[in-house]
Amino acid sequence: MPDSKARFRVKTLKIYRLNDRFNCDLLKMERYCMKKTLTWLGVAVGSLAVFAGAGFGVTLVNKDSLATHMIAKYTGKSDDSSSSSSTTSSSVEDSATLKVAKSSNLDSILNNGEYNGSAALATGKKILTSSRGYANHAAKNEMTADSQFLVGKIQDTINAGIIMHLIDTGKVKLNDKLSKYDSEVAGAESVKVADVMNQTSGITADTISSIGKAKSLIKEVNANATYDSTTQGTFADSRANTILQAAIIEKATGESYHSVVSDLIDQLELSNTAWGMKNKTVDYYRVDDVGSASKVSNSTLDTAELNRLGSDQLVSSPADIAQLYNYLFNSDYVSSSTLDKVFGQASGHVAGFAVNGDALSLTQAVGGGRNRIEWNLKQQTGTFLFSNYINGENNLSSISKNMFDYLK
């Protein structure tokens, strides 16, 4: 046993993101680098255990850090002592990433619905995918499971999942005043975190740039926002709330919004999720009364409803968002108690969703297309439909119902 007076140094473990911090361009290289890191970590933890026996208490890896989740992912083991929250189903290593597979049954459902787009069905154990039609009609580029769509308001639900995780880790409370995280915006002393997360703050801002990262957009909201106490508590979608969600995340974590979300993207290996609306790989079309389709320009798509966070706005595929939802709402990333606190007695619009008991849903027009998500908190299953043009909302509703019926 080493002398208790011996100086023992443990260099800070840094797990670098694939693209920005960790120069492992290939997944194989990433796994190699991680394996080496974990080998070192095992030695360090073993040595620290000896020190603990001599009366020294040391915490090397925070239970809620990315490191903890990455260790579980690459070793297939999790530290039971580091899990402070109960899970809604299985542990992180089981539910963090689901196998993705193409489904001929979904093909039939989409064909019968004359669907044009990409779809995913989260079954709780795997993600089934199907695609139909063209991503670009002029070039005849076929839609695939990898096609990247504008996600628009879906980003609010991702932000809500992150904020709920921060509640679990003790860094945020739903009843905290917004001023704890952003003291410069109008209404900060009256508005609570829950108001911002639920789009019920009464804060609006008409003049916000469509470009720039979250940090610069937060400054714009602080300079231009107005607060109406008479509308606080009433749902009213506002881009300002989405940006203030990012402000809460940045202040609570001490990291940039981009960095926090990137950690999730990298951890779950969401290869079809990217930053910036310009990186979408599908075009959107409007169909007139006689069935003629016309392409919607990128400038027309650049609206406050779709471009929530400038260059920190995401584009993604249904399968990637299904993977992300499974992690946010079906793992120990957010505890069942916090999910119940947010959604248990809720009705109307909460955390970016329309809530009806255990059923969460989100729909948004995107040019001539539409995104539709339905997620069942109890069953931990969901449908994800991203279309670049549709004949009507009833079409997506019936397709989603048929997808859920397939699970029965």
Q: Which two tokens stand for residue 163?
A: 């904020």
Over 80: is that where the pLDDT of 56 sits? no
Which range (174-178, 302-306, 309-313) has the least confidence? 302-306
Q: Which two tokens stand for residue 408?
A: 């029965």
Q: Confirm if 234 and 200 have CB atoms less than 8 A apart.
A: yes
CB atoms within 10 A of CB 266: 21
Mean pLDDT, all residues of the chain: 81
The predicted-structure confidence for 119-131, as pLDDT tens digits, reads as follows: 999 999 999 999 9
The predicted-structure confidence for 322-361, as pLDDT tens digits, reads as follows: 999 999 999 999 999 999 999 988 889 999 999 999 999 9
Domains of the chain, CATH where assigned: 95-159+255-407 (3.40.710.10), 172-248 (no CATH)
Rounded CA separation 52/55 (Å): 5
Over 70: is that where the pLDDT of 287 sits? yes
Contacts with 5 (C-beta within 8 Å, 6 or more apart), sequence order: none
- Which of the two residues, 290 and 245, has the higher pLDDT score? 245
pLDDT band at 210 (very low <50, low <70, confident <90, very high): confident
Question: Whole-prediction pTM value?
Answer: 0.78
pLDDT band at 405 (very low <50, low <70, confident <90, very high): very high
Provide DSSP, 15-75: ---TTTT----SHHHHHHHHHHHHHHHHHHHHHHHHHHHTT-----S-TTSHHHHHHHHHH
The predicted-structure confidence for 233-260, as pLDDT tens digits, reads as follows: 999 999 999 999 999 999 999 999 999 9
